[in-house]
């Protein structure tokens, strides 16, 4: 079965592909504005802690389940002998499909900005952004191109497509970020941005900041939807999955951290408010690039949005691979055919999200929630899939690993490729975290999300004032 399914040809290939799954818009688009709204360095400290305390053990568990069974998230739980737990795999499958359906739209925005800046047809400002995203024909065209490119890579297989792409995309991503950081640090007042980013004011840490840092860490590392179960199913039994998970976490955290070194010097050089939210990237920074002058602004701006497109691409590949692997394993459909069927289906599912950015009023103002207010269709899908399903999936995976599959079986799979981990402090830590820390924290994220957004019960305000 493993031969028919394919696999990664090297440990490095797996690490780069899995890191690519984790590295995406969450690192470069979402992380900086979460930092800005969370008070700067205090948020960064909390985020880094949670990436290793919370996310690393769940990542090891997902990879271990995948490698043990050599199957997709649905098939993996069945193969371990717990058919009722396949619902967790289906939850992850649904999450991946829904996330990719709107993620592809945001990726199309980034690529569209790159093209428009490069060819001098770009307009700056909030109104210009609204006009751009509402142009569903133009954005839809970029979305088709993005989905076609993603499907092409995935259809070529694990080593021939996903791994080869990761070996090109990930190093290129780092080079582009470093180039933009070098330039950003030369701007006036750049050091004030670095101080905001690196010097923590711990009085800024509130219940909301802790909750946001928890959620950002988990979303950033693409956990809870079975992507790493799927990638783990292509890993050799000889590979050390614990050190691989550590490397993936470090790479993801590294990209997010570097993004801050890039964004905040830009922001402070122009005296822009740091708490600008999602618009910080798509509405505010283009004005910064324009102020640099015609030629330099085009070069820096185009490079930035190409970087954003590359980051999105590394994630869309893994998001498409999850349902594709399900179709190959469970439905016995050849990979190429399965990839294109799934890609077309997800693009169609994403059409309402495409139209909800101003093109269709009923989708732009789709629903009003008690706690979250007016939501577009895209925002609502994101709230359901990313903010609700992912922590629930992570919670269930942690509970399954510790109390259903049992820690001794989990530990045995961890030890494949590294016998020295048996009885080590690291094994003890992962066992403790997966049994207690992860279920408590992930369960709390899920409960707070539901109470806050859907029921309008501001539990964080009640608890922390």
For residue 99, the model assigns a pLDDT of 95
pLDDT tens digits along 325-383? 999 999 999 999 999 999 999 999 999 999 999 999 999 999 999 888 899 999 999 99
pLDDT tens digits along 374-413? 999 999 999 999 999 999 999 999 999 999 999 999 999 9
For residue 126, the model assigns a pLDDT of 67
Give percent above pLDDT 70 in the chain: 97
- Domain 2-350+406-428 fold is Hydantoin permease (1.10.4160)
Instruction: Tell me: pLDDT of 83 over 60.
Output: yes
For residue 271, the model assigns a pLDDT of 78
Q: Are 401 and 65 in contact (CB under 8 A)?
A: yes
Rounded to an integer, what distance in angstroms lies between the CA atom of residue 146 and that of residue 152? 10
Q: Which residue has the higher pLDDT, 114 or 202?
A: 114
For residue 1, the model assigns a pLDDT of 38
pLDDT tens digits along 16-51? 999 988 888 778 877 877 888 887 888 999 999 999
Instruction: Tell me: pLDDT of 428 over 60.
Output: yes
Q: Which residue has the higher pLDDT, 134 or 127?
A: 134
For residue 274, the model assigns a pLDDT of 66
**In the chain, what are the domain boundaries?**
2-350+406-428
Mean pLDDT of the chain: 90
């Amino acid at each position: 079965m493993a031969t028919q399914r394919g696999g990664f040809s090297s440990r490095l290939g797996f690490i780069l592909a899995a890191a690519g799954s984790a590295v995406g818009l969450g690192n470069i688009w979402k992380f900086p504005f979460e930092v800005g709204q969370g008070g700067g360095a205090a948020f960064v400290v909390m985020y880094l802690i949670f990436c290793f305390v919370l996310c690393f053990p769940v990542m090891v568990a997902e990879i271990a389940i995948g490698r043990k069974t050599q199957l997709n998230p649905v098939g993996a739980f069945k193969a371990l002998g717990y058919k009722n737990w396949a619902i967790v795999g289906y939850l992850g499958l649904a999450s991946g499909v829904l996330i990719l359906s709107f993620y592809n739209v945001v990726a199309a925005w980034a690529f569209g900005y790159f093209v428009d800046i490069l060819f001098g047809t770009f307009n700056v400002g909030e109104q210009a952004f609204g006009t751009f995203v509402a142009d569903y024909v133009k954005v839809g065209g970029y979305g088709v191109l993005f989905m076609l490119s993603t499907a092409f890579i995935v259809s070529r297989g694990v080593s021939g497509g996903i791994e080869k792409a990761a070996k090109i995309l990930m190093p290129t991503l780092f080079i582009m970020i470093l180039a933009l950081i070098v330039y950003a640090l030369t701007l006036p007042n750049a050091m004030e941005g670095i101080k905001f980013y690196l010097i923590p004011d711990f009085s800024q840490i509130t219940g909301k900041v802790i909750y946001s840092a928890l959620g950002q860490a988990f979303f950033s590392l693409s956990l809870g939807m079975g992507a790493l179960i799927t990638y783990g199913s292509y890993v050799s039994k000889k590979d050390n999955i614990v050190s691989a998970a550590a490397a993936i976490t470090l790479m993801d955290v590294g990209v997010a951290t570097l993004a801050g070194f890039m964004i905040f010097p830009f922001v402070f050089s122009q005296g822009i408010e740091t708490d600008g939210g999602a618009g910080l990237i798509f509405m505010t920074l283009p004005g910064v690039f324009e102020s640099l002058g015609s030629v330099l602004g085009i070069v820096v701006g185009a490079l930035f949005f190409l970087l954003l497109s590359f980051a999105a691409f590394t994630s869309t590949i893994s998001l498409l691979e999850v349902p594709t692997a399900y179709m190959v394993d469970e439905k016995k459909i050849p990979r190429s055919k399965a990839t294109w069927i799934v890609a077309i289906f997800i693009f169609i599912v994403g059409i309402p999200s495409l139209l909800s950015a101003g093109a269709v009023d009923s989708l732009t103002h789709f629903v009003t929630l008690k706690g979250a207010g007016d939501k577009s269709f895209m925002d609502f899908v994101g709230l359901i899939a990313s903010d609700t399903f992912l922590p629930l999936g992570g919670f269930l995976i942690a509970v399954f690993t510790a109390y259903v599959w049992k820690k001794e079986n989990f530990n045995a799979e961890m030890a494949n490729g590294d016998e020295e981990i048996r009885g080590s402090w690291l094994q003890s830590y992962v066992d403790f975290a997966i049994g207690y820390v992860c279920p408590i924290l992930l369960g709390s994220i899920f409960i707070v999300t539901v109470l806050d957004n859907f029921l309008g019960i501001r539990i964080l305000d009640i608890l922390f004032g």
